[in-house]
Amino acid sequence: MLELVRAGGWPMIPLLLLSAIALAIIVERFWSLRRKVVLPPGLGGEVRAWAGRGKLDPAHVDSLRKNSPLGALLAAALDVRHRPREEIRERVEDVGRHLVHRMERFLNTLGTIAAAGPLLGLFGTVVGMIQMFLVIGDQGIGDANQLASGIGKALVCTATGMIVAIPALAFHRYFRGRIAAYIVDMEHEAFQLMDAMDPRAVAAQRVAPAAPPVRTSVE
């Protein structure tokens, strides 16, 4: 492996740096985008129960906002719970955009690495080929085996660039898809909370008549 790195020359240095950065981003995003961190289980039902009991003091809402991205979205709906439903929806959508931006942290960098890796690899190969042909121009072709070996060493950079870019691109797409799925679930929880806070729904639930008794015998 060390011989291949040396064969690639100095263009291998930025490629190795990009690979280290991509690996760090992938590990960090896996840790930060765990489902239990973004959408704690049972949180939506707990907040709807708070809203149903009317226990929505500012301390509860502030602690909810700091709990998780889902908590921040539900807290945004609770902040404007006395306004019309359309205004609550607009606030939820606005906060949701900010949460998406926060969850997509470092993903632009990962996408840039995926795009720049092959280009850097190709650049390293071109540099190696230029150096080799300059030597040929000064000293002649010489041994064909040495010429083939030089071409192979020059192509090391291209292969390294692809090795860096392919996983970076795959994980970039994967994290984008995971975030999109989280947003759908978070919006569903927010709309369920809006339904629970709807005065008409609450009033209808309070005055709903009891179900008629089941007749067990034929008159």
pLDDT in tens, 34-45: 999 999 998 888
Report the C-alpha gap between 17 and 15 in whole angstroms: 5
Mean pLDDT of the chain: 81
pLDDT in tens, 112-152: 999 999 998 888 888 777 777 776 666 666 655 666 666 77
Q: Contact at 8 Å (CB) between 56 and 78?
A: yes
Question: Among 111-120, 152-161, 173-182, 209-218, which is the least confidently predicted range?
Answer: 209-218
- Residue 158 sits at φ, ψ, to 5 deg, of -65, -45
Residue-by-residue DSSP string for 52-102: HHT---HHHHHHHHTT-HHHHHHHHHHHTTTS-HHHHHHHHHHHHHHHHHH
pLDDT in tens, 47-94: 888 877 776 778 878 888 888 999 999 998 888 888 888 888 899 999
Report the C-alpha gap between 219 and 193 in whole angstroms: 45
Record the pTM. 0.78
% of the chain with per-residue pLDDT over 70 = 78
Q: 107-139 and 144-154 are packed helices; what angle lies between their axes, rounded to 10 degrees?
A: 160
pLDDT bucket at 2, cuts 50 / 70 / 90: low
Report the C-alpha gap between 168 and 189 in whole angstroms: 32
